[in-house]
Amino acid sequence: MQLDYEGENRLVPKFTIETKMFDELCSLWKRCLVVKILGKMISFITMREKLHSIWKLEGGFKLIDVTHGYFILSFDLEEDQEKAISSGPWMIFYHYLIVRQWLAVFVASEATIDQTLAWVCFPRHGMVYYDESVLISIAFAIGPPIKVDTNTLTMPRGRFARVCIQIDLNVPVVGKFCLNNIWYNVEYEGLRMLYTKCGCYRHVSRECKATTFEKSQDTKIIVPKATMATSTEMSNPN
């Protein structure tokens, strides 16, 4: 490891780690995941208990609190790690659990969350449209679709269609869509910090600068109550 000084000032040391040594350090963490609850802080013990509850893993895992609401996870079994990554979206206290692959550039104090998987509902949607290809096509207008809820495809309930979509938290969300000359609202489960008048995430009315959004949408963004998230086991609320 090399030591230099910024402007030859001994009070401002600068270190450089050689590539080989850096790769060796990273090798211990490459199979780890980084998790954080979107919009909520919980303790280390609570996070560990909730992860045990929602994941129901075959093996164990190690959890490390790295501050700012972020935790690093390592798993005993590779299949458990794959389940944590691919079987979401997961919810804890009706907030989405962000699950990411660990990267060498990750620093908790500097990390940001720009995207999340979310369950998006189309209430009062005609049953004739409860078709996977139709729902995926509609979902593409909102964000990259991941999957359609099993209960929607098997149709035991007809109050709303439900699709898992990747949501970009940096842009306003879609509030409604028109299908065969009928307008339908779009509801977003679990996005508690979604400002309903403009569709933007992470701000309140006094900070809203999207003054033209409400007029162009002519509707409010709807965030359903937490009880709606229990409509299927796939949302995993705890």
Same domain, 129 and 211: yes
pLDDT of residue 155: 76
- Domain end: 46, 66, 101, which one? 101
173 assigned to some structural domain = yes
pLDDT value at residue 228 = 40
93, 150: one domain:
no
How large is the greatest C-alpha to C-alpha distance in the chain, in angstroms? Answer: 73
The reply to whether 63 and 23 lie within a common domain is: yes
One domain for residues 37 and 91: yes
Whether 186 maps to a domain, the answer reads: yes
Q: Supply 68's token pair.
A: 């700012």
What is the DSSP annotation of 141-196?
TTS-EEEE-HHHHH-S--SEEEEEEEEETTSPPP-EEEETTEEEE-EETT-TTB-T
Residue 208 lies in a domain: yes
Q: Are residues 214 and 161 in the same domain?
A: yes
- Count of residues in the chain: 238
80 close to 39: Cβ distance less than 8 angstroms: no
Domain boundaries, position 18:
12-101
Which pLDDT does position 232 carry in this prediction? 35
CA atoms within 13 A on the CB side of 187: 17
Other CB atoms within a 10 A radius of the CB of residue 99 amount to 20
Per-residue model confidence as pLDDT tens digits over 115-156 = 999 999 998 878 888 899 999 999 999 999 999 998 888 877
In a domain, 6, yes or no: no
Claim to verify: residue 96 and residue 142 sit in the same structural domain: no
Whole-number Cα distances in Å, 97 to 71, 93, 226: 11, 10, 15
Same domain, 85 and 128: no
43, pLDDT greater than 70: yes
pLDDT confidence tier of residue 214, bands split at 50, 70 and 90: very low
User: Structurally, how many domains does the chain consist of?
Assistant: 2
Task: Decide if 165 contacts 146 (C-beta within 8 A).
Answer: yes
Domain CATH code at residue 145: 3.30.70
Instruction: Check if the beta carbon of residue 191 is closer than 8 Å to that of residue 201.
Output: yes
Domain identity same for 65 and 142: no
CATH number of the domain at 21, please: 3.30.70.330
pLDDT of the residue at 76:
95
In a domain, residue 91? The reply is yes
Do residue 128 and residue 86 come from a single domain?
A: no
Q: Quick one: 72 and 170 in the same domain? A: no
Return the H-helix or E-strand segment holding 90: strand 90-92
User: Is residue 4 assigned to a domain?
Assistant: no
Report pTM: 0.78
Rounded Cα gap, residues 197 and 123, in angstroms: 19
Together in a domain, 67 and 126:
no
Residue 210 CB burial class (10 angstroms; 0-12, 13-18, ≥19) = middle
Q: Is the dihedral of CA 86, 175, 38, 227 positive or negative?
A: negative
Least confident of 10-14, 37-41, 127-131, 232-236: 232-236
| Shared domain check, 128 and 57 | no
Confidence band (pLDDT; 50, 70, 90) for 216? very low
Domain for residue 108, yes or no? no
CA distance linking residue 62 with residue 141, whole number of Å: 39
Question: Can you tell me the distance from the alpha carbon of 75 to that of 221, in angstroms, rounded to the nearest whole number?
Answer: 38
